[in-house]
Amino acid sequence: EVQLVETGGGLVQPGKSLKLTCATSGFTFSTAWMHWVRQSPEKRLEWIARIKDKSNNYATDYVESVKGRFTISRDDSKSSVYLQMNSLKEEDTATYYCTAGSLYWGQGVMVTVSS
Binding site for another protein (CB under 8 A): 43-48, 50, 61-64, 97, 102-103, 105-108
Q: Closest approach of Cβ 17 to another protein, in Å?
A: 23
Q: Closest approach of Cβ 104 to another protein, in Å?
A: 9
User: Which one, 28 or 115, has the nearer CB to another protein?
Assistant: 28
User: Which one, 13 or 58, has the nearer CB to another protein?
Assistant: 58
Q: Closest approach of Cβ 42 to another protein, in Å?
A: 10
Q: What is the DSSP string of the chain?
A: --EEEEE--EEE-TT--EEEEEEEESS-GGG--EEEEEE-TT--EEEEEEE--GGGTT-EEE-TTTTTTEEEEEEGGGTEEEEEE-S--GGG-EEEEEEETTTEE---EEEEE--
User: Which one, 44 or 115, has the nearer CB to another protein?
Assistant: 44
